[in-house]
Amino acid sequence: MDVTTTLVCQCGQFHMEVVGSPLLSAQCHCASCRKAARELANFGPARALTEDNGGTNYTLYRKDRVRFPHGLDGLHAYRLSATAPTRRVLTACCNSPVFVEFTGGHWLSIYTSMWPMAERQRPDLRTQIADAPAQTKFDHSIPASKWHTTKFYARLAAAWAAMGFRTPKLKISDWPPISPALPATEVSTQSATSPRQ
């Protein structure tokens, strides 16, 4: 039987559940993730968004393996622009980074910082290192690619097939305080429990 893991925000008011093992864990160095980390830092996130080398660690799960026992009202989403297909979701209570969702995606890139330090999965790979500043130093203990790797896409494709090619949707309001130009919109969705720029 798959194990259910409960993840809690910094202040303890919000929690979510993930079932079973993740698809993979990755450290992203894309320009969008780095820009979002800089902008969100202005609003005092409860946990660091990036590692020492500037990358952001994510642990990827199928959407149908992620549960929100108390719903999604305690979350708000940030987009880099009004037309950005990716939203970064934080808790409203303490601004803990929770996950990144690509519009139309069947997976969630959960911020690895949602796990206790001792339980955080080490990245399986680094992606988008071509976007990293020239002075960034990488060790060679983790496979790295200038773009996304074949392994990355293969696992996502296999997961989608296992889900019957469904794409569960989540209803989360965009966060006007971060991007004042953005309207407070909601994404049309189905059940929240059915469950990147």
Tens digit of each residue's pLDDT (9 = 90 or more) over 1-17: 789 999 999 999 999 99
> Is the pLDDT assigned to residue 25 strictly greater than 50?
yes
Task: Specify if 24 maps to a domain.
Answer: yes
| Structural domain count of the chain | 1
pLDDT at 34: 94
Task: Specify if 9 maps to a domain.
Answer: yes
Task: Specify if 40 maps to a domain.
Answer: yes
The pLDDT of 121-128, averaged and rounded, is 90
CB-based contacts of 167: which residues, under 8 Å, 6+ apart?
63, 104, 105, 106
Q: Please report, for the domain that includes residue 126, its CATH number.
A: 3.90.1590.10
Closest to 160 (Cα-Cα) out of 90, 107, 84, 110: 107
Closest to 194 (Cα-Cα) out of 162, 160, 161, 171: 171
Task: Pick 159 or 14 by higher pLDDT.
Answer: 14
* Domain enclosing residue 32, as ranges: 4-162
Task: Specify if 129 maps to a domain.
Answer: yes
> Is the pLDDT assigned to residue 196 strictly greater than 70?
no
